[in-house]
Amino acid sequence: MRNIAIFASGSGSNAENIIRYFKNHPLVKVDSVWSNKKDAFALKRAEDLGVESHYFTKEEFSGSDWLIRELQRRDIELIVLAGFLVLVPPEFVDAFTILNIHPALLPNYGGKGMYGSRVHESVVNNKEKESGITIHLVNNEYDKGEPLLQVRCPVFPEDTPDTLASRIHELEYQYFPGAIEEFLNRK
Ligand code: GRF
């Protein structure tokens, strides 16, 4: 089996969607879901679907190699960031292949502080005609790794950040699991 670990800080609807997609997959397994937030709903979603879920402290994430060793012990081949809001330390970038999804068309509306509803608020305030998703490799800078896939969607004049967020979430559900699978196939 090729083992994936998902990192998520919030609701975890993408994490859930990815778990469901790979549930009976012959080659790929979601081994575990990890969060920097003890009360992240992502952890509950994983548990409910029978996937191990764990919280880690700031020190465990960036102050020691405990988590890297633990993920290596689990034979994790790919880390998937799905709404994970912390910059990944360079030691992780060196040790693992990591994918992220960003809810806009990078390089626009990316970088430090550009996450969640802030992205959609900026897109709507700037009266953009389109937005979308970017699935990309993770390097040592926020949202700067090599893009693997971008999918576009319209932004309508009557859109609010919330209506745009739901359209973007639908794109994420539709494309993220398949992009992970395809990436592993090519790896
Ligand atoms: C998604 O829009 C993702 O692109 C962004 O954070 C959001 C997470 O949503 N990085 P959820 O927690 O998966 O519902």
- The span from the CA of 157 to the CA of 105, in Å, is 18
Write out pLDDT tens, residues 6-52.
Answer: 999 999 999 999 999 999 999 999 999 999 999 999 999 999 999 99
Please name the residue whose Cα sits nearest to atom 9 of ligand 1.
83
Neighbour-count burial for 152-177, b at 16+ CB within 10 Å, e otherwise: eeebeeebebeebbebbbebbbebbb
Per-domain boundaries in the chain: 2-186
Residues involved in catalysis:
102
Per-residue pLDDT at 116 exceeds 90: no
Contacts of 12 (CB under 8 A, 6+ apart): 33, 40, 41, 42, 43, 44, 45, 46, 82, 83
CB of 132 shorter than 6 A to ligand 1: no
* CATH number belonging to the domain at 2-186, selected among 3.40.50.720, 3.40.50.170, 3.40.640.10, 3.40.190.10: 3.40.50.170
For the chain, give the percent of residues with pLDDT over 70: 100
**155 C-alpha to center of ligand 1: Å?**
18
| pLDDT confidence of residue 91 | 95
User: What type of residue sits at position 23?
Assistant: K
pTM: 0.97
Q: Which of 159, 39, 157, 168 is nearest to 103 (CA)?
A: 168
Where would I find the beta strands (DSSP E) of the chain?
Answer: 2-7, 28-35, 52-55, 76-81, 97-102, 130-137, 147-154
